[in-house]
Structure formats: C-alpha cells, structure tokens
Structure 1
Amino acid sequence: MIFETHAHYDDEAFDDDRDSLLKSLYSEGIEYVVNVGASITTTVKTLELMKQYPFVYGAVGVHPSETAELNEENFKWLGETALLPKVVAIGEIGLDYYWDTPERSIQKEWFSRQMELAKELKLPAIIHSRDAAADTLDMIQSADLKQTGGVIHCFSYGKEMAKSYLDMGFYLGIGGVVTFKNAKKLKEVVEYAPMEQLVLETDCPYLAPEPNRGKRNSSLNLIYVAQEIAKLKGISCEEVITITENNAKKMYGFPRFE
C-alpha cells in the first residue's frame, strides 16, 4: 500500500471534510500518513491528529519561514514533544530564501538547532530547501546528519545536487510536481536516482499532480505520482508503491511500531 510521507492535514483547507477524507484513505490504498509540523501551532495540531487516527504519525518542527517564533522555551517543548512514541521525524526544517523572511541568520540558527535535535534524538530530518541550495547543503554537511538521515522534501534541484544528498544516504521526496509537463529537471532526477532512495509525498493541500493540478491536493492523488515514476523508471506502478513503502518504513523506523 502507499505510504504518504509528508502531508499537512492540519491545514484549514481540510476543515470541512478532514474526518471523512482521512477515514477513506485506507480503502483507497493509503496505509500510513506522516503529518508534518511547520510551526508550533501546526505541530500541536499534528499531535491531535496522531491521537485521533491510528494510521497518522507525526513530525515535529518549525519551517524556516516560521522560525522567528522560536525561542528557548518553545524549542525545549519541541524537544520534549519529539519523544512521543508516534513522532517519527524532526521537520519540516531548513532554509527558504524565496521570501527571504525572517532574516537568513535566524533561519540558519534554528535550522542548525533543529538538526542537532534530530541527531540528539536519533530521528530523521525532513528538510525544506527553497532557493537555498548551496547553504542548505553546506549546513547539512557541517551538521553531519549521516547517522540520522532523512528526506529532502519536495526535491526541486538538479542531478548534481541530488547526487550530493543521495551519496549521504538521504531520500528524495517526490510529489505532484513530477507529473507537470514542464518539470524536466525533476523528471531527470527521478530517472537518475535509485528507486531505493525515493519516497512518495503530497505536501497536501499543495502541489496537486496532473490531472488535478491547481485543486486541493490529498493523499488520494499519490497514485498519479507513482504512475509517473513508474513511467520514468520503466517499471510497474505496483513496484513503485512497494519499494517506496519499504523506503518510507526504513526511513521512519517503522519496525518500532509494528
């Protein structure tokens, strides 16, 4: 079955039908969902979803664009929260220079601190990197995350950058963008990368794949991502689903829960 490695079901886009949608996932072939915190508030909401739905697991962390809210008190809370049994990763964390707020120095400080937390707790990191390729790679290499590993979420760089992360043992998160006709660079990365280092994700409610581009995304659309990867790799969709499910379980340490 499909393993959804990165979703945001806490988002208000799901307020009208969250419960019915989540309860429908298993019958549609979605076995597990990792809901990913992006702020203190969304991390709290993630914890609530984890409690309510047995198949929903969580990642706790603060997205680079929200790092101005971090201080010693709530960072300590993040560390304590990360010890909960169904928390499987620290994330999403990283650098985002698209809007360039907050200041890069603040983003870097809390990216570094959250990577150290991942290392301390031996949890994988979910990395967000937008328009910050060089700095993200430099900081990850300096932090030496080889032991914890993790995933480069919504991978958006070229083959050379992909090789750097693959060589460190990271997974690449592949979502709806791979189905876009103009996503030549990402398609090349998927063709290049070993299947054993790819995982499926939506980043829902964002980045819905073709044929639903522009609409609200959900885990139900992951089949389209799997089909596109299968086409690019020259293998069956069933193989893509099986391999990426195994990859996700390995990345998130799921033998601990079964």
Structure 2
Amino acid sequence: MYLVDSHCHLDRLKLDNHQGSLDSALAAARDRGVGRFLCVGIDLDNADKVVELADRYEEVYASVGVHPLALEHPAPKHDELLRLADHPKVIAIGEMGLDFFYDKEHHQEQEKRFITQLEVAKECQKPVIIHTRDARERTLKILEQHCDTSVGGILHCFTESLEMAEAGIDLNLYVSISGIVTFRNASELRDVVRALPLERLLVETDAPYLAPVPHRGKSNEPAYVRDVAEFVAELKGISYEELRDVTTRNFNQLMKLPN
C-alpha cells in the first residue's frame, strides 16, 4: 500500500532541493512511499495549471475552487466551476471556506463564495475541501445548510477543537492532519488527533507551506507527508503501516478511487 498526500499545491512548490524539477520532487515522494497526490486549486487563475499537472502525472489528481482569502480574484462563477469540475482528473471542489483570522472585513463575501462552491459540489457530486480558521460556528452552519452529506469532504489542515471535528464527521467530513501537529506548541491538536476515529483521518502536507518537524524552516514538499504520517501513527499508538493503509483507504473511499 502507498501513502496519500491528500492536500498539496504542486504548482507552488519551491523545488530548490530538486534543481527546479517537479519530476524530481515527485520521485522523492515516491521513494518515501507516497503514491497519490491531490493538487489543490486556490483560485480560477491556477485552475488550468492544477488540471494540467493532473493530466501530466497518473498519480496526481486535482481540485478546483477559490480560497477564502483569494479576495483579489473574481468570485467563482457557478457555470465556470461546473465546467472545470467536469474534467475526469478533477475529483473535488475547493479549497473553499472561511478565514476570519486573516480577513476581518469581508466575511459576507467569503460566505457568499463558500455557498456558491458548495452548491457546485452538490450539483456535480464531488467532495468538498474546507479551509476554516477562526470561523467555527459560521463554517459549520453553512455546511449544515449547503453541504451534500451524501458526498462529504475534508476539513483540511485541521487545527480546531475536537467538538468541531466531531460536528464535521457528523456531516460526513474527514479530518486531515498536516505538519502543524508536529509543532512544539500544538499540544491541543495532538490531543484532538488522539481522540479522533481512525476511519475519519487523512494526512497531508499543504506543501509548500507548514513543513513538519524535522524539516521546519524549509519549504514543504510531498515527501514530507511520510513524517506527518509517522508522527500521527505514534500519537494513535499504531504502526506507520496501519496508519498509512487506513488513511489511504479513507481517501480513496471518499474520492471514489481504486486502491
């Protein structure tokens, strides 16, 4: 069985350690047992790029969507997102959501964009990728009203409370853990991970951001999802191999992909 990086931005990798070669970065990940990658869109300007990367590499899949902080970009248009989502390698919609930590002024606009993307996901029957920060109540309320729970999705790069994770699970969402869990000041998140059911866990890098220990200070890359998985396995008191197999099955089940 291989490991999945359930959330990375391959079009944004720094590639300094790979002489500018994405081929080399993906090979380094494969060497560490990573066999599938979800390249996540953040605005409609990079949608064509993430889809092109998914076309280029068999093991790479794509999502299309508009990040809540991409407010300098036009709001997502329903029909345009639906057209992009029709590509066979586009398996999810997002990342979308609410971020009231970095943006204090445009909450209504964020919510409008969030709802548009949830409606597109419902129409095309593809899972959603959710970014949420300092917006627990509003995120959950909008998900309760507009998310198709028969399809579900991912609470990506999760750093919130156990109560929010459990509320997301009730909406048929998976909880994806990034390198943040390895940070020295992340003791509360580690407690959350210990309490979460294995059948709802995923792991990710969010590369090129949030490199895990022991790579702190470096640009993140998909190979480092192995470090996240090993750390989470230790928290859960299971072997790396079991954690790898469970999270891979979880991802493939959610995205309707073969193992």
Task: Provide TM-score, normalisation by structure 1.
Answer: 0.94
Show the counterpart of 2:214.
Answer: 211
Task: Tell me how many residue pairs correspond in the alignment.
Answer: 255
Counterparts of 1:75 and 1:45 in 2: how far apart (Å)? 19
Using the TM superposition, give the Cα deviation of residue 133 of structure 1 relative to its aligned residue in structure 2, in angstroms: 1.1
* Shift, 1:67, TM fit: 4.3
Residue 28 (structure 1) shift: 2.6
Match of 1:141 among 141, 144, 168: 144
Matched, 1:80 2:80: no
Counterpart residue number, 1:11: 12
Structure-1 residue corresponding to 2:51: 47
Greater per-residue helix proportion:
1
Q: Deviation string for 1:136-192 (max 9, x for gaps)? A: 111101114311200000111111111111222210010101111211121111111
Residue 235 of structure 2 corresponds to 232
SS in 2 for 1:142: helix
1:25 to 2:26 alignment: no
Partners of 1:115 and 1:218 in 2: CA distance: 28
How much has 1:108 moved relative to structure 2?
A: 0.5
State whether residues 67 and 110 of structure 1, in contact with CA within 8 Å, keep that contact through their aligned partners in structure 2.
no
2:247 counterpart (225, 237, 244)? 244
TM norm structure 2: 0.93
Q: Deviations over 1:50-90 (max 9, x none)?
A: 12111110001000111452347x54222101011111100
What letter corresponds to residue 245 of structure 1 in structure 2? T
**Counterparts of 2:116 and 2:78, CA distance in 1:** 9
Structure 2 unaligned blocks of 5 or more: none
**Given residue 162 of structure 1, which amino acid in structure 2 is its aligned partner?**
A
**Which stretch of the first structure deviates more once superposed, 132-141 or 94-103?**
94-103
Give a deviation string over 1:214-239, Cα, whole Å, max 9, x none.
Answer: 21111111121111111111110110
Paired residues of 2:29 and 2:224 also in contact (CA < 8 A): no
- Per the TM alignment, residue 43 of structure 1 is displaced from its structure 2 partner at its CA by 1.5
Change (3 A) 1:71 1:152: closer
Whether contact under 8 Å (1:112, 1:139) holds in the other structure is yes
Q: Which runs of 5+ in 1 are unaligned?
A: none
Percent identity over paired residues: 39
RMSD of aligned alpha carbons: 1.7
Partners of 1:7 and 1:128 lie apart in 2 by 13
The structure 1 segments of at least 4 consecutive aligned residues displaced by more than 6 Å after TM superposition are none
Q: Is the 8 A contact 2:81 2:120 kept in 1?
A: no
Letter in 1 for 2:201: L
1:66 aligns to what SS in structure 2? coil
